[in-house]
Amino acid sequence: MSARCRPSWIRRAAPPALALSGPERDALIWASMGKSVPEISEEMHLPDQDTIFLLESARHKLGAANWTHAVVLALRRKLIAI
């Protein structure tokens, strides 16, 4: 069935996930525990801007709308575990 003929209620397959780096996974795990950027930065011994970069990179790779959505997608795809 071509994309043009596909009914609107049929969901598209999720885009293939690019491999997350170790620090991206770690940042998502800390975010899944409700940690803020400053708290994640402190745990990972990174500046806040680097933590934001890691979370944004993971969000982009997963095709998520925001960091919370990225955590949910990573959990569903078994890329992280809590």
Identity of the amino acid at 2? S
22-76: CATH class: mainly alpha
Q: Which of 68, 72, 74, 77 is nearest to 24 (CA)?
A: 74
pTM of the model: 0.79
CB-based contact 55:70 (threshold 8 Å):
yes
Can you give the length of the chain in residues?
82
Residue ranges, the chain, pLDDT below 70: 1-18
CB-based contact 27:55 (threshold 8 Å):
yes
Predicted local confidence at residue 82, as pLDDT = 84
Predicted local confidence at residue 15, as pLDDT = 57
Domain ranges of the chain: 22-76
